[in-house]
Structure 1
Amino acid sequence: MTTNMLPVDTIVRIALREHDGESPDVTAYTEHITAALAKPDEIPVFSSTSSPLSLVRFRCLLQDTGYPAEVYLPGDDAEEAEASSSSQVDWGKLQERWVGWAVEVPGEQQWAKESSASTSSITADLAALSVSSSATALPPVVKNKYPLAALGVDNYLGALLKVYDADASFRPASAYDVVGIVSAAPVPTPYAADGEDEPPLVPAIHVISAPTPAFPPAELPQDGEATRAALVAHLASAFFPPDVVAAELLVLALIAAPATRAGGLPLGTLALNIVRPTPSATLEHVLAHLTPALVPLPISLPLLHGATFTPSSSDGTSLAPGLLQLAPNTLLLVDEDGLGDGGALAERAVKNVQALTQAITDQTVRYEYPYMDGLKMECSLRCIVTSEATSLLPSDVSVPATLATSAPSAPEADLAKFRSYLSYAGGAAHAGTFSIPAAVGEAVQDAFVEDRRVAGTGGAAAAEARLTRRMKVARLLALSHASAELSRDVWDRAVEIDAEVEKRVSARDAERREKKLGAPTVNGTDAAAATTPTAAA
Structure 2
Amino acid sequence: MVKSDFVDALSDPTRALLEFYDASGDIDAFPAKVAAHFANIFASKDAFSEIPTIHTVDPRENDRRLVSFRAMIQDTSPSPEMYLAKRSGGRCGGWGLADDAASDDAASDDDLDYADLRENTVMWAVGVPGESDWVSSEIDATDAPRSTPLPESHPFKFPVPGAPHLGVQVKVYDTSRADLLKSTDLVTLVGILTMEIMTSESESPNAIAVPTLHVLFSRPIPPTVVPRVFPYSSSTITFERLRDQLISWIADEGLAGDKEAAEWILLNIIAKVQSRTPPLLPLSLTLSKFPPPPASASPTPRLSAVLAHLLPIVVTLPLSLDVLNNSSFSPESKNEDLHSGRLQLPRGSVCVVTEGGVTEGGVFDRGLRNLRALQEVMSSQSLEYIFPFSRFAFETDIAFLILSEGRKSTFFQTNANVQLRPNKAGELYGEVKEPSPETLAMFRDLVGGAKIGNVTIGESVAEYIQEDFVAERKTAATPAEAVTSDDLIHRMMVTRLLTLSLHETEVTTDIWERTKAMEAARRARLT
TM-score (norm 1): 0.78
Task: State the partner residue of 1:137.
Answer: 151
Q: Against the structure 1 CA distance between its residues 11 and 451, is the aligned structure 2 distance closer, same or farther, given a 3 Å change threshold?
A: same
1:14·1:74 contact (CA, 8 Å) conserved in 2? no
Partners of 2:157 and 2:16 lie apart in 1 by: 27
1:368 to 386, 394, 410: 386
1:12 to 11, 14, 25: 14
Task: State the partner residue of 1:531.
Answer: none
The answer to whether structure 1 residue 417 and structure 2 residue 442 are counterparts is yes
Partners of 2:504 and 2:399 lie apart in 1 by: 23
1:480 to 485, 501, 508: 501
Structure 1 residue 190 displacement after superposition: 6.7
1:45·1:117 contact (CA, 8 Å) conserved in 2? no
Partners of 2:254 and 2:128 lie apart in 1 by: 30
Q: Against the structure 1 CA distance between its residues 32 and 99, is the aligned structure 2 distance closer, same or farther, given a 3 Å change threshold?
A: closer
2:167·2:211 contact (CA, 8 Å) conserved in 1? yes
The answer to whether structure 1 residue 99 and structure 2 residue 122 are counterparts is yes
Please list the CA deviations of residues 165-194 of structure 1 after superposition, one character each: whole Å capped at 9, or x if unmatched.
Answer: 1222221111211222211111122783xx
Task: State the partner residue of 1:313.
Answer: 333
How do 1:404-443 residues align onto structure 2 when only pairs under 5 Å count? Answer: 404=424, 405-406=426-427, 407-427=432-452, 430-431=453-454, 434-443=455-464
- 3-state DSSP class of the match of 1:299? strand
Identity %: 29
Larger displacement relative to structure 2 (279-288 or 33-42): 33-42
The answer to whether structure 1 residue 353 and structure 2 residue 371 are counterparts is yes
The answer to whether structure 1 residue 219 and structure 2 residue 229 are counterparts is yes
Structure 1 residue 34 displacement after superposition: 9.2
Structure 1 residue 36 displacement after superposition: 7.0
1:33·1:55 contact (CA, 8 Å) conserved in 2? no
Task: State the partner residue of 1:519.
Answer: none
Q: What do you get for the CA RMSD once the two structures are aligned?
A: 3.2
Aligned pair count?
460
2:284 to 242, 259, 271: 271
Partners of 2:132 and 2:321 lie apart in 1 by: 27
1:176 to 177, 184, 187: 187
Letter in 1 for 2:343: L
Structure 1 residue 69 displacement after superposition: 1.3
- 3-state DSSP class of the match of 1:503? helix
Partners of 2:17 and 2:80 lie apart in 1 by: 17
Q: Against the structure 1 CA distance between its residues 14 and 371, is the aligned structure 2 distance closer, same or farther, given a 3 Å change threshold?
A: farther
Letter in 2 for 1:394: Q
Task: State the partner residue of 2:217.
Answer: 209
Task: State the partner residue of 1:285.
Answer: 305
The answer to whether structure 1 residue 303 and structure 2 residue 315 are counterparts is no
1:161 to 155, 167, 170: 170
2:53 to 25, 45, 50: 45
2:201·2:207 contact (CA, 8 Å) conserved in 1? no
Task: State the partner residue of 1:197.
Answer: 205
- 3-state DSSP class of the match of 2:207? coil
1:48·1:135 contact (CA, 8 Å) conserved in 2? no
Question: Could you list the runs of 5+ residues in structure 1 that have no partner in the other structure?
Answer: 1-7, 18-30, 128-132, 507-537
Partners of 1:134 and 1:144 lie apart in 2 by: 21
1:272·1:383 contact (CA, 8 Å) conserved in 2? yes
Letter in 2 for 1:327: P
- 3-state DSSP class of the match of 2:526? helix
Task: State the partner residue of 1:380.
Answer: 397
Partners of 1:112 and 1:323 lie apart in 2 by: 22
1:313·1:319 contact (CA, 8 Å) conserved in 2? yes
- 4+ runs deviating over 6 angstroms: 8-11, 14-17, 31-37
2:39·2:217 contact (CA, 8 Å) conserved in 1? no
1:290·1:418 contact (CA, 8 Å) conserved in 2? yes
1:255·1:423 contact (CA, 8 Å) conserved in 2? yes
1:47·1:116 contact (CA, 8 Å) conserved in 2? no
Structure 1 residue 461 displacement after superposition: 7.4
- 3-state DSSP class of the match of 2:199? coil
2:13·2:66 contact (CA, 8 Å) conserved in 1? no
Larger displacement relative to structure 2 (206-215 or 174-183): 206-215
- 3-state DSSP class of the match of 1:208? strand
